């Protein structure tokens, strides 16, 4: 299923006059519109290969069909998203769920869809068919040296796949931890994990990064061996300059001040990047911006401020990725909504008058600071984001295009209703 440039143009023509009116209005209101558009056009968010199918809870899974059944179809789906929004030009693979059979063919396919390969992800949180030793009691932390060896070797293999594909980072998320007090010696678990990570780190190519993702709980409910940003940073600092802390928005205890975490990690030069999603309670993996869009803006505000302070390139110097699960929505619609939310939050953060905010902070003007933040957040920048998409050749309204063309129906006809995408 391919989307033709002509059909996008036809869609855009229908919406153009309304869009133009809104865009002219905002352009007259804000002086920075053009520079924001340039930045938005450069910005891309990677799509995880495991988020293209229907997600599940432990109670059930309700697929609507047309799911990608192999890596090629997953690439096609990300290609569809990218054709529509021009901001999803990368895919992040999970090994062993997505081992390419033929690197060249898969690279060629990705290239033809305008996609590159983002970070590769290792999986030591499940036992795979035929696997010799079990990760039931952890992987890199395990009390059994042979299990630790197996987990290290798996990560080394993931790096090899990534090198073939042109990835530049390995993301490690460990489900390691303990479910009951007394089960684990915390210090031994830390030291074993550090030892393993050290070996993995040592085999990274020079231009690669290691992203260490933390998570507060689940699947272990008493302790996690990389449980929060402090622990992840501790490992990253011990590992070396190529190791960074990865923030997944859903991996905190409730009400954590994520924007502050981001500010400090950036200050230390240790922020890897993001797994975007939203949550009400825990690792809910809901659509980005669906629950707390203001928090997302506050995070982007710190990101832009921190990246500019360090002279970082917004588009390339950090890893941007969605990590969500779609239980009741069409996964592709959910991803379109998620990318849109990210672009809006980024546009708002670019719009913010930082000189004014700095002045308000310097004079303890608490009310003034809030006014600046909230006036920015309440400015309707949707037509700025749409204009960036239009100029890049995307659709003015990706979701209405997707629905008007009945893309899910076409995918069901093409792939059937029984396909199940690998992933969680």
When CB distances are held under 5 to 8 angstroms depending on the partner's kind, the choice from Mn ion, ligand AFD, none that residue 424 binds is ligand AFD
Can you tell me which of 248, 278, 334, 397 binds Mn ion, judged by CB under 5 A?
248
* First CA to last CA distance, the chain: 24
CB of 246 to Mn ion, least distance (A): 7
CB-nearer residue toward Mn ion: 276 or 300: 276
Can you tell me which of 168, 252, 275, 326 binds Mn ion, judged by CB under 5 A?
275
Can you tell me which of 43, 117, 173, 377 binds ligand AFD, judged by CB under 6 A?
173
CB-nearer residue toward ligand AFD: 372 or 421: 421
CB-nearer residue toward ligand AFD: 250 or 398: 250
* 118 lines the binding site for ligand AFD (CB under 6 A): no
**Region of 82-90, 123-131, 322-330, 398-406 interacting with Mn ion (CB under 5 A):** 322-330
Contact map string, positions 126 to 165, toward ligand AFD, x by CB under 6 A: ----------------------------------------
Can you tell me which of 73, 76, 98, 213 binds ligand AFD, judged by CB under 6 A?
213
How far is residue 384's CA from residue 20's CA, in Å, rounded to a whole number?
A: 10
When CB distances are held under 5 to 8 angstroms depending on the partner's kind, the choice from ligand AFD, Mn ion, none that residue 50 binds is ligand AFD
CB-nearer residue toward ligand AFD: 77 or 323: 323
Contact map string, positions 277 to 316, toward Mn ion, x by CB under 5 A: ------x---------------------------------
* 176 lines the binding site for ligand AFD (CB under 6 A): no
Can you tell me which of 73, 176, 228, 283 binds ligand AFD, judged by CB under 6 A?
283
Tokens standing for 53? 């199918």
Measured from each CB, the residue nearest to ligand AFD is 173
Can you tell me which of 323, 330, 340, 387 binds ligand AFD, judged by CB under 6 A?
323
Using CB under 6 A, which residues numbered 223 to 262 contact ligand AFD? 248
CB of 295 to Mn ion, least distance (A): 17
* Size of site (CB under 6 A) for ligand AFD: 9
CB-nearer residue toward ligand AFD: 168 or 275: 275
Phi-psi region of 116 (alpha: psi -120 to 50; beta: other; left: phi over 0): beta
Burial class (CB in 10 A: 0-12, 13-18, 19+), 195: middle
When CB distances are held under 5 to 8 angstroms depending on the partner's kind, the choice from ligand AFD, Mn ion, none that residue 252 binds is none
When CB distances are held under 5 to 8 angstroms depending on the partner's kind, the choice from Mn ion, ligand AFD, none that residue 208 binds is none
When CB distances are held under 5 to 8 angstroms depending on the partner's kind, the choice from ligand AFD, Mn ion, none that residue 397 binds is none
C-alpha torsion sign, points 237, 239, 244, 247: negative
Can you tell me which of 76, 77, 98, 323 binds Mn ion, judged by CB under 5 A?
323
Cα 321 → chain centroid: 2
Q: Are strands 169-173 and 120-121 parallel, antiparallel or unpaired?
A: parallel
Contact map string, positions 354 to 393, toward Mn ion, x by CB under 5 A: ----------------------------------------
SS (HEC) of the chain: CCCCHHHHHHHHHHHHHHHHHHHHHHHHHCCCHHHHHHHHHHCCCEEEHHHCCCCCECCECCCCCCCCCCHHHHHHHHHHHHHHHCCCCEEECECCCCCCCCHHHHHHHHHHCCCEECCEECCCCCCCCCCCCCCCCCCCCCCCHHHHHHHHHHHHHHHHHHHHHCCCEEEEECCCEECCCCCCCHHHHHHHHHHHHHHHHHCCCCCCEEEEECCCCCCCCCEECCCCHHHHHHHHHHHCCCEEEEEECCCCCCCCCHHHHHHHHHHCCCEEEEEECECCCCCCCECCCCCCHHHHHHHHHHHHHHHHHCCCCCCCCCEEEECCCCCCCCHHHHHHHHHHHHHHHHHHHHHCCHHHHHHHHHCCCHHHHHHHHHHHHCCCCHHHHHHHHHHCCCCCCHHHHHHHCCHHHHHHHHHCCCCCCCCC
* 67 lines the binding site for ligand AFD (CB under 6 A): no
Judged by the rule CB under 6 A, the positions of this chain that interact with ligand AFD are: 50, 121, 173, 213, 248, 275, 283, 323, 424
Judged by the rule CB under 5 A, the positions of this chain that interact with Mn ion are: 248, 275, 283, 323
């Amino acid at each position: 299923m391919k989307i033709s440039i002509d059909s996008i143009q036809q869609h855009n023509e229908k919406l153009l006059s309304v869009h133009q009116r809104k865009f002219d209005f905002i352009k007259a209101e804000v002086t920075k519109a053009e520079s924001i558009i340039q930045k938005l056009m450069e910005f891309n968010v990677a799509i995880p290969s495991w988020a293209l199918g229907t997600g599940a809870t432990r109670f059930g899974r309700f697929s609507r069909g047309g799911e990608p059944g192999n890596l090629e179809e997953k690439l096609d789906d990300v290609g569809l998203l990218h054709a529509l929004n021009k901001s999803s030009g990368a895919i992040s693979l999970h090994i062993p769920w997505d081992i390419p059979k033929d690197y060249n063919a898969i690279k060629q396919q990705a290239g033809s869809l305008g996609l590159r390969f983002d970070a590769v992800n290792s999986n030591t949180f499940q036992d795979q068919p035929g696997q010799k030793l079990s990760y039931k009691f952890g992987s890199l932390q395990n009390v059994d040296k042979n299990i630790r060896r197996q987990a290290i070797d798996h990560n080394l293999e993931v790096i090899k796949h990534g090198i073939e594909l042109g990835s530049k980072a390995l993301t490690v998320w460990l489900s390691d931890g303990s479910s009951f007090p007394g089960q684990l010696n915390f210090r031994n678990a830390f030291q074993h994990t550090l030892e393993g990570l050290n070996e993995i780190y040592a085999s990274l190519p020079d231009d690669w990064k290691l992203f260490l993702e933390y998570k507060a709980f689940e699947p272990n409910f008493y302790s996690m061996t990389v449980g929060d940003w402090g622990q992840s940073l501790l490992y990253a600092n011990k590992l070396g300059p190529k190791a960074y802390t990865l923030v997944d928005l859903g991996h905190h205890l409730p009400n954590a001040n994520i924007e502050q975490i981001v500010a400090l990690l950036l200050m230390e030069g240790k922020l890897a990047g993001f797994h975007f999603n939203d949550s009400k309670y825990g690792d809910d993996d809901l659509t980005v911006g669906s629950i707390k869009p203001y928090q997302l803006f506050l995070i982007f505000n710190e990101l832009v401020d921190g990246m500019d302070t360090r002279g970082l390139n917004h588009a390339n110097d950090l890893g941007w990725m969605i990590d969500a699960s779609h239980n009741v929505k069409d996964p592709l619609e959910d991803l379109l909504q998620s990318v849109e939310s990210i672009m809006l939050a980024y546009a708002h953060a670019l719009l913010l008058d930082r000189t004014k905010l700095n002045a308000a902070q310097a004079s303890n003007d608490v009310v003034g600071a809030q006014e600046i933040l909230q006036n920015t957040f309440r400015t309707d920048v949707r037509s700025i984001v749409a204009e960036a998409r239009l100029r890049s050749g995307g659709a003015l309204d990706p979701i209405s295009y997707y629905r008007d063309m009945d893309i899910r129906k076409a995918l069901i006809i093409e792939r059937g209703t029984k396909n199940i995408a690998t992933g969680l």
